[in-house]
């Protein structure tokens, strides 16, 4: 394993530079340097990345570009491509790049690619069948986290490419409300459920899937169930037990992380929405960004540059949050998608060998579509005491051919970009804006399947590049496992208390020996307050 960035001499150089750039003046930087905009703009896979509004100068830029070689980035990227076990704690590859490798690139591909292609073919054939047959007007994807967010975000983003005949919905929350509301209006004869779960063990997904199965059984009879369900999982036996017809079961693999899986049959709902040709374009856009990440020099490499300016903001300017602000309603779920991608991947505090990191890792990611956010939290971004970094996403063309509306959105985006950069100098402290809010601006020509594929992969590889610099594993998520386990105990405790068989303050059947993690000592009092009876 290569050295983490903070342990290299390159890091020390950056620290020294940061110490003298505490009050970086972006207004002055633009005033003295007319070429700043173009010098800090790069283009690849149909995307423009402009980092000229980051608080960097040429000295910082040069020093940041030393980091990738210092940490062995090239080797780390090649290791991902080779399928090395870069998910070190789980001893497996993180091989999502295989999922978007084009069919024509089957030569010299690893043997796993044949299986990927076969499954892609089955999945797309099924998606086309659903679209062509016209039996279903409602498709409901039941999944959570990586089995929900990617497809849900992409279906909304690519609505202009979707079939009007089929409405595609996404159900994730365990409280059952969203599914309940949807089932009030859905027609069982014309509804297809997709149960999407890498493990097929997520409580939320299984609870919602059982409700859906019961809904079909009660209305159409038990024999109708196989016709109304499809599923994607690593866990074939669990799909079988649930009653999924083998012809409608789709595989995924251990070596794909949930948050990197929209390219597999986890994207079935998306494929049904946009159809085979558009899904192929989505994969092509993603693959184009993969090829760019693999080959481009660091100073041209969009994912690496986005990673480096992030490192500068987080580790050197000590800015702990990143707001993702797309100026398109079509990308309304993109911030939530990036939130899982970055925070679940790089929200870590130990290196590969388990030793603690002594530097910041993933920031808090949040965001909303631009104009709505302007009228809610932009005040804090402009004048709050906490400084946030910003990714602003602009579209050149309207997804709905409404050029005027898009121009309004873009003009708003530009106005905010200018204000974030330059601020406002005035003697009135209430009206003064400090400016110098660091921003990356990403421009898409059009929100096509290919452009969306490239945009997602830009962030996927940014996350990997940052994990390599921080020396952490981006591909496990043990932090979320404990809560899942304890939930079995809290559920049992709630049920016991509600049935009157247990005093919530009693030790006996609520938890293990006091002192063990999950003995519920911190929530015993709360159980009494939230019990329903």
| Catalytic residue set | 344, 375, 484
Q: Which two tokens stand for residue 64?
A: 């940041």
SS3 string, 309-355, reads HHHHHHHHCCCCEEEEEECCHHHCCHHHHHHHHHHHHHCCCECCCCC
Stretch that binds ligand F6P, among 192-200, 275-283, 300-308, 486-494 (CB under 6 A): 192-200
Among 364, 480, 482, 491, binds ligand F6P (CB under 6 A): 480
Question: Can residue 258 be called a binding residue for ligand F6P (CB under 6 A)?
Answer: yes
Q: Which two tokens stand for residue 299?
A: 């100073």
Residue 252 CB, nearest distance to ligand F6P (Å)? Answer: 9
Q: How far apart are CA 51 and CA 43, in angstroms?
A: 11
Residue 425 CB, nearest distance to ligand F6P (Å)? Answer: 46
Question: Can residue 295 be called a binding residue for ligand F6P (CB under 6 A)?
Answer: no
Q: Residues near 434 by Cβ (< 8 Å), separated by ≥ 6?
A: 383, 423
Task: Please answer whether residues 149 and 180 qualify as being in contact, where contact means their C-beta atoms are separated by less than 8 angstroms.
Answer: no
Question: Can residue 141 be called a binding residue for ligand F6P (CB under 6 A)?
Answer: no
Stretch that binds ligand F6P, among 69-77, 140-148, 271-279, 523-531 (CB under 6 A): 140-148
Q: Residues near 187 by Cβ (< 8 Å), separated by ≥ 6?
A: 137, 138
Question: Can residue 202 be called a binding residue for ligand F6P (CB under 6 A)?
Answer: yes
Task: Please answer whether residues 436 and 25 qualify as being in contact, where contact means their C-beta atoms are separated by less than 8 angstroms.
Answer: yes
Among 166, 477, 490, 496, binds ligand F6P (CB under 6 A): 477
Among 249, 259, 348, 462, binds ligand F6P (CB under 6 A): 259
DSSP character at residue 175? T
Among 388, 394, 344, smallest CA distance to 367 is for 388
Question: Can residue 482 be called a binding residue for ligand F6P (CB under 6 A)?
Answer: no
Question: Can residue 147 be called a binding residue for ligand F6P (CB under 6 A)?
Answer: yes
From first CA to last CA, the distance across the chain in angstroms is 55
Q: What is the DSSP string of 466-531?
A: HHHHHT--TT--GGGHHHHHHHHHHHHHHHHHHTTS--TT-STTTSSSTTSTT--TTTHHHHHHH-
Q: How far apart are CA 183 and CA 181, in angstroms?
A: 6
Task: Please answer whether residues 94 and 474 qualify as being in contact, where contact means their C-beta atoms are separated by less than 8 angstroms.
Answer: yes
Residue 315 or 477 having the CB closest to ligand F6P: 477
Residue 46 or 258 having the CB closest to ligand F6P: 258
Q: How far apart are CA 381 and CA 378, in angstroms?
A: 5
How many residues belong to the site for ligand F6P (CB under 6 A)?
14
Query: Which residues make beta-bridge pairs with 195?
Result: 142, 231
Residue 209 or 373 having the CB closest to ligand F6P: 209
Among 5, 6, 93, 146, binds ligand F6P (CB under 6 A): 146
Q: How far apart are CA 420 and CA 193, in angstroms?
A: 45
Residue 144 CB, nearest distance to ligand F6P (Å)? Answer: 5
Question: Can residue 466 be called a binding residue for ligand F6P (CB under 6 A)?
Answer: no
Residue 50 or 476 having the CB closest to ligand F6P: 476
Question: Can residue 267 be called a binding residue for ligand F6P (CB under 6 A)?
Answer: no
Residue 150 CB, nearest distance to ligand F6P (Å)? Answer: 9
Residue 56 or 195 having the CB closest to ligand F6P: 195
Among 187, 199, 426, 499, binds ligand F6P (CB under 6 A): 199
Question: Can residue 348 be called a binding residue for ligand F6P (CB under 6 A)?
Answer: no
Question: Can residue 172 be called a binding residue for ligand F6P (CB under 6 A)?
Answer: no
Residue 205 or 339 having the CB closest to ligand F6P: 205
Q: How far apart are CA 413 and CA 493, in angstroms?
A: 50
Question: Can residue 150 be called a binding residue for ligand F6P (CB under 6 A)?
Answer: no
Residue 11 or 260 having the CB closest to ligand F6P: 260
Q: Beta-strand (E) ranges in 197-344?
A: 229-233, 249-251, 321-326
Among 5, 46, 93, 145, binds ligand F6P (CB under 6 A): 145
State the residue for tokens 């949050």: 321
DSSP character at residue 435? -
DSSP character at residue 47? E
Residue 148 CB, nearest distance to ligand F6P (Å)? Answer: 8
Among 197, 346, 361, 398, binds ligand F6P (CB under 6 A): 197
Question: Can residue 203 be called a binding residue for ligand F6P (CB under 6 A)?
Answer: no
Question: Can residue 310 be called a binding residue for ligand F6P (CB under 6 A)?
Answer: no
Question: Can residue 346 be called a binding residue for ligand F6P (CB under 6 A)?
Answer: no
Residue 205 or 496 having the CB closest to ligand F6P: 205
Residue 29 or 231 having the CB closest to ligand F6P: 231
Q: Which residues of 208-230 are buried (b: 16+ CB within 10 A; e: fewer)?
A: bbebbbebbbeeeeeeebeebbb
Among 92, 96, 120, 198, binds ligand F6P (CB under 6 A): 198
Residue 293 CB, nearest distance to ligand F6P (Å)? Answer: 22
Residue 280 or 476 having the CB closest to ligand F6P: 476
List interacting residues with ligand F6P (CB under 6 A): 144-147, 197-199, 202, 205, 258-259, 344, 477, 480
């Amino acid at each position: 394993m290569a050295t983490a960035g903070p342990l290299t001499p390159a890091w020390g150089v950056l620290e020294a530079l940061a110490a003298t750039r505490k009050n970086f003046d972006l207004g002055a930087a633009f005033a003295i340097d007319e070429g700043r905009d173009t010098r800090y703009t790069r283009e690849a896979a149909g995307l423009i990345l402009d980092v000229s509004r980051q608080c960097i100068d040429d000295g910082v830029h040069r020093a940041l570009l030393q980091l990738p070689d210092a940490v062995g980035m090239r080797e780390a990227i090649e290791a991902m491509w080779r399928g090395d076990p870069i998910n070190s704690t789980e001893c497996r590859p993180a091989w999502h790049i295989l999922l978007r490798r084009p069919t024509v690139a089957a030569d010299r591909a690893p043997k796993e690619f044949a299986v990927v292609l076969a499954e892609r073919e089955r999945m797309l054939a099924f998606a086309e069948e659903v679209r062509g047959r016209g039996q279903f007007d409602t498709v409901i994807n039941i999944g959570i986290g990586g089995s929900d967010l990617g497809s849900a975000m992409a279906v909304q983003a690519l609505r202009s490419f979707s079939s009007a005949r089929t409405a595609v919905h996404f159900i994730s929350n365990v409280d059952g409300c969203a599914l309940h509301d949807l089932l009030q209006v859905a027609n069982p004869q014309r509804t297809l459920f997709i149960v999407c779960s890498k493990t097929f063990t997520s409580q939320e997904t299984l609870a919602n899937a059982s409700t859906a199965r019961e809904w079909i059984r009660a209305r159409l009879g038990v024999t109708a169930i196989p016709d109304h369900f499809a599923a994607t999982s690593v866990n074939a036996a669990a799909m079988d037990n649930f009653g999924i017809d083998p012809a409608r079961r789709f595989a995924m693999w251990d070596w794909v992380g949930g948050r990197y899986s929209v390219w597999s049959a986890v994207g079935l709902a998306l494929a049904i929405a946009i159809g085979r040709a558009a899904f192929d374009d989505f994969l092509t856009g993603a693959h184009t960004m993969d090829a760019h990440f693999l080959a481009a020099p660091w100073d041209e490499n969009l994912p690496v540059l986005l990673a480096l300016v992030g490192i500068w903001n987080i580790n050197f300017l000590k800015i702990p949050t990143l707001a993702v602000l797309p100026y398109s309603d079509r990308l309304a779920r993109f911030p939530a998608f990036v939130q899982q991608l970055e925070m679940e991947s790089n929200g870590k505090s130990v290196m590969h060998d388990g030793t603690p990191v002594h530097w910041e890792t993933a920031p808090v990611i949040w965001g909303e579509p631009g104009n709505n956010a302007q009228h809610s939290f932009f005040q804090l971004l402009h004048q709050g005491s906490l400084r946030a970094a910003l990714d602003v996403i602009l579209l050149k063309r309207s997804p709905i051919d409404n050029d005027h509306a898009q121009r309004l959105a873009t003009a708003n985006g530009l106005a905010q970009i200018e204000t974030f950069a330059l601020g406002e100098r005035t003697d009135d402290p209430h009206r003064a804006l400090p400016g110098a809010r660091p921003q990356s601006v990403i421009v898409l020509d059009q929100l096509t399947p290919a452009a969306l594929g490239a945009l997602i992969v830009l962030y996927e590889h940014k996350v990997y590049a940052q994990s390599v610099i921080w020396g952490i594993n981006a591909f496990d998520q043990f932090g979320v496992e404990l809560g899942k386990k304890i939930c079995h105990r809290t559920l049992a405790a709630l049920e016991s208390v509600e049935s009157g068989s247990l005093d919530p303050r009693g030790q006996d059947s609520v938890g293990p020996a006091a002192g063990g993690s999950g003995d519920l000592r911190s929530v015993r009092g709360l159980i009494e307050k939230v019990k329903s009876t």
